[in-house]
Structure 1
Amino acid sequence: MRDLPPAPARGWRRLVHTLTGGSINPGPSPAEQRHRELLEAVRTRATQPEVIATICLKGGIGKTSTTAGVGLTLARHRGDRIIALDANPDAGDLYERTCPGTPPATLTDLAAHASDVASMTDLNRYAGIADRLSVIAGDQEPTISESLSADDFVTALQAVQHYYNVVMVDCGTGVTHPSMVGILSNARHVLIAGGYAVSGARRAESTLRWLTAHGYHHLARTAAVVLTQTTTVSNIVDTAAIENTLAQHSATVIRVPHDQAVADGTTISLDRLQPATADAYLQIAASIARNFH
């Protein structure tokens, strides 16, 4: 007996299915089926801790918006706990882009007092909540944030991994910063932030090459390159050539279209995004989650 198609959830297909009491079922459209497949991938079970680092050698090309968008997407569509850490030593604004108000504490605070965290309640004192995503801020004082060592990061990471099995990390531009050894040594996946401007594309490629050259070839091989359009792309930019070049060094290249709700630098909310932007973050989340174990 042939399996019946699932009931459509929207559009004229849903209307026909409803009006006929299900006797006529045209099934989901190709777009809806694709969406369902992405959701299924995003919900891939994580049986061990998964750390996802967002990195690039250049600032201002979407690291924080990517961390926020993908983190919020994972948190909305998965049943487990997701947390994002701001490990940018240059006064990162992940908390500002996701959570209202003043952060209760910082990643540096958590590293210093991790031995005092004995429960989820204790850990919640360091984090804010955006939708279902927990967020721990970075220090805004450079002399403090710059002092975060690899061991400090690992100490904080181990504290959160007792309660969260998926951890997003928003990194700074300095891959040689002491904390990056702790981040990349524990990361199972990386998102490489880039853009369609020549400098943004080159920095993304340089980041992939740097990973390969410094013993992180496994991260480069499975990386998702995220090209965020912060403005309208000039007609003289060969976007296909950029994507093809970056695809030679990574697992996938995904474009995040220009969206004022991202570009304006204010709080990122999935409900404020254009459908194409939300879909791009869903694609990125799916590309990473497919590799969960």
Structure 2
Amino acid sequence: MSDVLISAAELAERLGEVTLLDVRWTLADPDAGRPAYLAGHIPGAVFVDLHHELADPSQPATEGRHPLPPVERLQESARAWGVRTGRPVVVYDDSSGMAAARAWWLLRHAGVSDVRVLDGALSAWTTAGHPLEAGEVRAEPGDIELAYGALPVLTADQAAAFPRVGTLLDARAPERYRGEAEPIDPRAGHIPGAVSAPATGNIDASGGFLEPGSIRARFQELGVDLSAPIGVYCGSGVTAAHTLLALAAAGVPGALYPGSWSQWSNQDRPVATGDQP
């Protein structure tokens, strides 16, 4: 396995050696994660609330819908989850890593060096016949010290200029990129110069990540120069982390624009529509 993904088989072997985090969340039903967790989760997993613990309160006009939380608050949360210095962390969800990738990226950005996402999500675990347990896990408090800066981020101004130095990827659905539909944010379209690369294209039919070679081939077919800088945005900085995880699994670094379209479309910035950058 890569150093950012872990298989269900490997997790089963290492279950007692890692801090395990359940990050079930979807934009369509943001409060459904905890009840699902309480009904059944991988043994030892602690529930993480993406909306309240992996993001600051929504500030669309200035920071976007899911701003990065202050590192002090993230550290407090991570210690409550049991994250400890030198102990590996594994995160999972039930949506092919779309939510878990946010926890992966945020913890890596904050300096936790060994964080991996369960490849194939919870279904990979249950399909393999591994058990679930019900109820809530209360972890022994951790001692992790966090500081942002381990991974690159882009401001809105840097995202605007990015297509001149590399490739800016838009990880949202194609119809939102083209400006045909915008169910959440005030304006439809995309950042001028950005290339459409829906995050759903990072996974295969089973819900697991594409193999590294296939990931590289996918982005090269989109016209991405993998040796040049790559930036990624989405609606609010959550789904973009999934694309950064896929790129990392293929050995390709990238930068996140955390404010993403939710910030951009709330400001007086240019908007492009159609299927071309």
**TM more than 0.5:** no
Which one has the bigger helix percentage?
A: 1
TM-score w.r.t. structure 2 length? 0.28
Structure index of larger Rg:
1
TM-score w.r.t. structure 1 length? 0.27
